[in-house]
């Protein structure tokens, strides 16, 4: 591995998980439209935030039965 690549790798590893995912996404999809990349990065950020909320215990879960009942009620209207 070249010295330049070693240095970039070292800097990339210092990034947050989200930043590393965004960087990897950009590198792997350099031919994609930038809007699509921004949307994908935003979804990745949202997913990670939701996972963090679950792990932290700050997410408020809704029982399956309640979700199904609410969906059925909405369809009935």
- pLDDT, tens only, 25-77: 888 876 666 677 788 889 999 999 999 999 999 999 999 999 999 999 999 98
> In 3D, which of 12, 14, 29, 15 has the Cα closest to residue 1?
12
Q: What is the pLDDT of residue 28?
A: 80
Q: Rounded to whole angstroms, how far apart are CA atoms 23 and 40?
A: 12
Q: What is the pLDDT of residue 41?
A: 87
Range of the domain at 72: 3-76
Whole-prediction pTM:
0.45
Q: Rounded to whole angstroms, how far apart are CA atoms 61 and 49?
A: 15
Q: How many domains does the chain have?
A: 1
């Amino acid at each position: 591995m070249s010295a330049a690549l070693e240095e970039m790798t070292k800097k990339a590893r210092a990034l947050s998980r989200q930043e590393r995912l965004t960087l990897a996404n950009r590198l792997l999809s350099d031919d994609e439209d930038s809007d699509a990349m921004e949307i994908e990065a935003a979804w990745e950020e949202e997913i990670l935030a939701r996972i963090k909320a679950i792990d932290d215990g700050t997410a408020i879960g809704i029982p399956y039965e309640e979700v199904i009942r609410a969906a059925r009620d909405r369809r009935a209207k």
